[in-house]
Amino acid sequence: MAAPDSIRFCPSCGRPIIHKEIEGQPRPYCVACDRVYFQDPKVAAAVLIEKEGKALLVKRANIPERGKWTLPAGFVDAGEDPQEAAQRECHEETGLHISIQSLLDVFSGKEHERGADIVILYRGRIESGALTAGDDAQQVAFFGPDELPPLAFDATRKSIQCWLHSLKMDKD
């Protein structure tokens, strides 16, 4: 579905949408239904998986940033638990079944047209499965702190910083 700010006709009754100032902003509004179409943020879930001091990354098959690497991640479906979304996306992209260990961070800020407004970063642990690139991943591999490939997106760079920081904390 189109973003609510680009809605021209009411999804409920089909009449033209107007923009009405509500709570300080012009928002899509249907007079007939007396209904406001609020624009909700898109939420993604990402997962950091570490094995033998290396982090699991996936090489993007799609634009934008095709060919660069990110953490296993994807959009949270409506009604889906973000932890389950992280597990599902990780399985689709890497073939691995994981469990969620902890919440590491939450990032905000849309980076591109099709991007998420909010990214929830978990730490995960491999439970089963064989490493295989799937879905929108070209390749999947583990990388040590000194052998990181070109990373896509700020959220990935921040996530990797978070991981490098945790490695340093473990050493101290």
Q: Which residues bind Zn ion (CB under 5 A)?
A: 10, 12-13, 30, 32-33
State the residue number with the nearest CB to Zn ion: 10
Q: Which of 44, 48, 45 is nearest to 125 (CA)?
A: 48
Least distance from Zn ion to the Cβ atom of residue 31, Å: 8
Q: Which is nearer to Zn ion, 15 or 66 (CB)?
A: 15
Q: Which is nearer to Zn ion, 12 or 102 (CB)?
A: 12
Counted residue by residue, the chain has a size of: 172
Q: Which is nearer to Zn ion, 31 or 106 (CB)?
A: 31
Least distance from Zn ion to the Cβ atom of residue 24, Å: 23
Task: Give the separation between CA 47 and CA 100, rounded to whole angstroms.
Answer: 8
Least distance from Zn ion to the Cβ atom of residue 81, Å: 31
Find all residues with CB under 8 Å of 136, minimum gap 6, and list them.
60, 61, 62, 93
Task: Give start and end residues of each alpha helix (H) in 18-153.
Answer: 82-94
Q: Which of 163, 138, 134, 168 is nearest to 148 (CA)?
A: 163
Q: Which is nearer to Zn ion, 13 or 131 (CB)?
A: 13
Least distance from Zn ion to the Cβ atom of residue 167, Å: 54
